[in-house]
Amino acid sequence: MSFFTTRNAVVKKGTLISLVLLFASLAMWEWGFQFLGVPRFIVPPASEVVKESVQMWQTNHLLMHTGITAAEVIAGFVLGSLLGAGIGYLLGMSPTAEFALSPYILALQIAPKVAFAPLFILWMGFTIYPKILVAVLIVFFPVLINVLTAIRAIDFDLINLARSFKATRGQIFWNIEFPSSMPQLFAGLRIGSTLAVVGVTVGELVGGNLGLGYLLVIGQGQADTPMVFVSILMLTLIGGVAYLAVVLLEGRVLHYSSSRTRRLS
């Protein structure tokens, strides 16, 4: 049996199992909790959540709030990833810089990110910038650590071989270190794509008048459980789309990188 035949069989079987689990989960959500005697105000049926989403679309500007949160997630993710990757490569290529900056980066990571949200709001008011900054802080560290780990794991003999052929520092980075770090970089980006949603939501919960986090606060204040469920589901959707985008980009980039490596060899 060929590799592709086996892979197709695995994909079909996995898809079937996933769909069965989806329908079973929806059935449990719709009828199971009621059968177990769970009150509707604690876990509303799926149909009630759907009705609430339609109502929120019409009266609570659900699309606008979702778009604002999605824009904040994208901005926080991109900025946090660029900052984390840039500093990760810097620390990986310069042991001196790593020794000097590591204590401050570690202290920034240890500090609770939730605690920064009120501070950013005091500085910048109830704008989108505090939410983006919280997302940047949360995304920054996983990307940095993955890049730094990848740079450290590169075979130093390969770098010495390149130097023996008079390769410049830039050539070593672009032809050896950067391509070798791509799998680890994308692993960090996968983590960051989901954490960005967490950061933005924290910022909107602490002090926001727009976004899905703001709708969560309204739903909590009104004891409107379906509204809270709708907001959570939309946040999950944003995180899922961001994660899928990273996976698709990873497939394109790493496929190109592998093909390029085979051609060079």
Q: Which CATH number covers residue 102? A: 1.10.3720.10
Q: Is the pLDDT of residue 1 over 70?
A: no
Is the same domain home to 144 and 195?
yes
For the ranges 23-27, 63-67, 193-197, the lowest mean pLDDT is seen at: 23-27
Enumerate residues 6+ apart whose C-beta is below 8 A from 253: 182, 186
48 and 29 share one domain: no
Q: What is the pLDDT of residue 265?
A: 41
Burial of 227 (0-12, 13-18, 19+ CB in 10 A): buried
pLDDT at 262 over 60: no
Same domain, 227 and 174: yes
Are 51 and 30 within one domain?
no
Q: What is the mean pLDDT of residues 86-111?
A: 85
What average pLDDT is seen over the chain? Answer: 85
| CB-based burial, 192-217: b 16+ in 10 Å, e otherwise | bbbbbbbbbbbbbbbbbebbbbbbbb
What is the SS3 assignment for 251?
A: helix
pLDDT category, 264, cuts 50, 70, 90? Answer: very low
Distance from C-alpha of 147 to C-alpha of 202, rounded to nearest angstrom: 26
**pLDDT of 8 over the 80 cut:** no
pLDDT score, position 138: 92
- On whether both 50 and 19 belong to a single domain, the answer is no
Domain count, the chain: 2
Residues 31 and 126 in one domain: no
Which domain range does residue 109 map to?
Answer: 44-264
pLDDT in tens, 202-214: 888 887 788 888 8
Query: Do both 55 and 150 map to the same domain?
Result: yes
The answer on pLDDT for 60 being more than 80 is no
Residue 158 pLDDT grade (very low, low, confident, very high; cuts 50, 70, 90): confident
pLDDT digits (tens, 9 = 90+) for 233-257: 999 999 999 999 999 999 888 876 5
Distances (CA, A) of 179 to 13, 39, 125, 243, 250: 34, 54, 41, 21, 12
Above 70 in pLDDT, residue 70? yes
Of 6-10, 108-112, 139-143, 192-196, the least confident:
6-10
Residues 12 and 110 in one domain: no
Three-class secondary structure of residue 227 per DSSP: helix
What was the pLDDT predicted at 2?
55
C-alpha–C-alpha distance, residues 43 and 35, integer Å: 12
Query: Is the pLDDT at 259 greater than 50, yes or no?
Result: no
| Phi, psi dihedrals of residue 198, rounded to the nearest 5° | -60, -45
Helices (H) and strands (E) in the chain, counts: 12, 0
Same domain assignment for residues 33 and 149: no
Domain identity same for 24 and 129: no
Token reading at 165: 């052929």
Residue 122 has pLDDT above 70, yes or no: yes
Per-residue pLDDT averaged across 24-44, rounded? 84
Q: What is the pLDDT of residue 260?
A: 47
Of residues 138 and 7, the one with the higher pLDDT is 138
- pLDDT of 172 reads 81
pLDDT surpassing 70 at residue 3: no
State the pLDDT at residue 257.
55
The mean pLDDT value for 11-18 works out to 81
Identify whether residues 30 and 63 lie together within a single domain: no
Q: Are residues 145 and 239 in the same domain?
A: yes
Q: Cα(44)–Cα(39) distance, rounded to whole angstroms? A: 8
